[in-house]
Amino acid sequence: DGGITQSPKYLFRKEGQNVTLSCEQNLNHDAMYWYRQDPGQGLRLIYYSQIVNDFQKGDIAEGYSVSREKKESFPLTVTSAQKNPTAFYLCASSPPAFADTQYFGPGTRLTVL
């Protein structure tokens, strides 16, 4: 089945550690996105990538890094520089024909202890 997968569903890390969240899609979508969701808030854009080997900062990129070495994969690293990393992280992708419609993965809930 085609879709977007994020792993793991729940992730726990100690403060000060970097952690990488996985996002994979087999939909042949060109663009991929990372969002952060906090309780009672909408989604805020962290990073996005429209093509392989290229990505741009979103509204809240500080403390995060990404890579886009393959079309199917867009991992997000939450670094120790991110002051409040505990949140729900959602990955999305959009198809080339409808670049503005995004489809989402199941999300990863990160808790930093």
Which segment (18-26, 34-42, 60-68, 72-80) binds other proteins by CB under 8 A?
A: 34-42
Binding to other proteins (CB under 8 A) within 50-109 occurs at: 50, 56, 58, 88, 90, 92, 94, 98-107, 109
Residue 37 backbone phi and psi in degrees, to 5? -125, 125
Shortest spacing between CB 5 and other proteins, in angstroms: 11
The SS3 of residue 49 is: strand
Q: Residue 5: CA atoms inside 13 Å, Cβ hemisphere, count? A: 8
CA distance 60 to 111: 18
Q: What residues line the site for other proteins (CB under 8 A)? A: 31, 40-45, 48, 50, 56, 58, 88, 90, 92, 94, 98-107, 109
